[in-house]
Amino acid sequence: MKKKVLGAIFAGAMAATIAATSIASVAALKTDHSKYTPSAGVDTYKYYLAMPGCWINDSTHDNNDAAGCYWWDAADNPGDRFSNGWPGYEMDKEASDKNLYSIQAPQVAAAVVFSNYLDGGMDSTKPEFSQALQCKNSPAEFYVEGDSDNYSSKFWKYMWTLAQKKAGIESDNESFDKTYDAIMDNPDVIDFTPEFGENGKVFFSETELQSGLAMRFDNMVWIVDLNPDHMTVVNEDLIPGGKPVFDGDWYFMYGNGEYGMWPTKELALEQEGVTIDEEGNYVYPDNYTVDEYGTIRNDEGYIVIGNYTGKYYEDAVAPTIDPDKVKPVATTVAPATEATTVETTTIPGPDNKNAKSSTSDSTNDSASSSTSGSDSSNAAIQTGASSFAVIILLAAVGAVVLTYFKRRKTN
C-alpha cells in the first residue's frame, strides 16, 4: 500500500466550509471577462471543457456565453488576484466547436471547478441563482487504476501490458510487479506517443508518491454528466434547498466532437468490438446501449464513443432534481461475464449526431457510475455576491492535508 496526497482535497464526506468576506480593492477588482495569464515560472496543463447547451441561458448571453475555471491552493489563485475569486478565470473559446473551451491551468492545482462563468449569489429566489451552473470539483492531479469509475480494469490492464512491453519484461504476474519496479527505476520508458500520438503524453510513471503508471489530464476534455440522477446538492446548510452541481469526468478527444475512454478512436473501436459500416454508421453488439445524446456504452456501462455536439449542445433545457432525493451516486459497474455471441445494432456515425438507438434512449440504462476519480465525491461551489462569498470545498484550510491509502498497481 502506498500513499497518495491529494494536495488540499478531502475524500468521502469530509468538507471544509469557508466563509469569506470580499474587500473591494481597485488593484484586485475582477473584470467581467478576466483571462488567465500564468505568472513567470508557473508550468501549466491545457484543460478543455465541453459546455452543454443547457448551461447557456439569458444570463450567459449577457456574459458572452463564457465558461469559467476556478482553482484554489495552487499558483495564481483567482481569489488572490481578484477581490471576489469566484467564478475564477474566463476560458478561451475554441474555434473548432461552438461549445468547446480551454484554459492553461497551473500543474500544481489539485482540482478545478468548471462553470458557465456566472456568480449566482446566495439568494435562491433570484433567477440568476438557478442560471449559474457548475460541476463538482474536477480532479486535476492524475488518475491511477481505481481513481475513476469511468475507466475500466480492461483499460488499465491494456496500459500496464503496454508498459511491460516498453520496459522489456517478457512475463509478469497479474499485478505487474516486475513492470512496476522497472518503471519506477526508469520512468522514461513510459512513452506511449508512438502508439497514441499526442494523447500518449498523458501517461507517465509517477515516482514522487510511488504511484506507478498514471495518467494526467493535459489536453483532455471535461464532459459534463447531464444525468440528473448523478447530480448532487451542496450548501444545504447555507442556502434553502442547497445548490445543485453536475458530475462529469475527463476523456480523450477524437475530433468532430467525439470523445471516449481510450486514447484513440481506432483503439476504442478495436477494443470494444464496434465497427463502422459503408454508410458511416456505427455497428455495435446488441447488448450495448446508446443514450439520448448518442453516447455508445459497452455491456459494462463504460463509454465507447460519445459526442459533445449534437443534442449535448443543442438541448437548452437544464436537468432539474429534487433536493430531498439527491445523494451522491456510486453505481457499481456490472462484473464481466463470459463472452457470448450477440446480435449487432447499427446507428448513424459521427455525421449524424442526433441518432438514437432502439436499444436504449436514456442514460439511466447505463451501468456505469459517472462519479469521477480521486474520491472527490463531494461537490464544490462558491456562489457569493460581489461583497460576500461562501464556498464549500473539498479542500483543507491552512495546514490541514488529507491523505488516503490505496494500492498503486493493478490487481
Residues 91-100 have a mean pLDDT of 93
**Measured between alpha carbons, how far is 345 from 283 in angstroms, rounded to an integer?**
6
**Measured between alpha carbons, how far is 205 from 263 in angstroms, rounded to an integer?**
17
The angle that helices 153-166 and 177-185 make with each other, rounded to 10 degrees, is: 60
**Measured between alpha carbons, how far is 350 from 122 in angstroms, rounded to an integer?**
41
Look at residue 363 and tell me whether its pLDDT is greater than 80.
no
* More confident site: 19 or 390: 390
Could you count the other beta carbons within 10 Å of the beta carbon of residue 323? Answer: 16
Confidence category of residue 235, pLDDT binned at 50, 70, 90: confident
* More confident site: 267 or 19: 267
Question: Which of the residue ranges 46-55, 97-106, 345-354, 383-392 would you say has the lowest mean pLDDT?
Answer: 383-392
Confidence category of residue 152, pLDDT binned at 50, 70, 90: very high
Q: What is the mean pLDDT of the chain?
A: 77
Residues 291-302 have a mean pLDDT of 96
Confidence category of residue 96, pLDDT binned at 50, 70, 90: confident
**Measured between alpha carbons, how far is 79 from 67 in angstroms, rounded to an integer?**
17
* More confident site: 404 or 142: 142
Look at residue 170 and tell me whether its pLDDT is greater than 80.
yes
Percent of the chain with pLDDT over 90: 58
Question: Which of the residue ranges 13-17, 102-106, 178-182, 250-254 would you say has the lowest mean pLDDT?
Answer: 13-17
β-strands 282-285, 289-290 pairing: unpaired
β-strands 44-50, 220-225 pairing: parallel
Q: How many CA atoms lie within 13 A of 292 on its CB side?
A: 11
* More confident site: 297 or 371: 297
Look at residue 70 and tell me whether its pLDDT is greater than 80.
yes
Look at residue 6 and tell me whether its pLDDT is greater than 60.
no
Look at residue 88 and tell me whether its pLDDT is greater than 90.
yes
- Split into its structural domains, the chain has a count of 1
Q: What is the pTM of this model?
A: 0.78
What domain range is 125 assigned to?
Answer: 1-411
Percent of the chain with pLDDT over 70: 70
Please give the pLDDT value at position 122. 86
The shares of helix, strand and coil residues in the chain, as percent rounded to the nearest 5, are: 15, 25, 55
Residues 279-291 have a mean pLDDT of 95
Please give the pLDDT value at position 324. 60
Confidence category of residue 140, pLDDT binned at 50, 70, 90: very high
Could you count the other beta carbons within 10 Å of the beta carbon of residue 41? Answer: 6
Please give the pLDDT value at position 156. 98
Please name the residue that has the C-alpha cell 451501468: 367
Please give the pLDDT value at position 32. 52
322-331 per-position pLDDT tens digit: 656 544 433 3
Question: Which of the residue ranges 2-11, 192-201, 304-313 would you say has the lowest mean pLDDT?
Answer: 2-11
Confidence category of residue 264, pLDDT binned at 50, 70, 90: very high
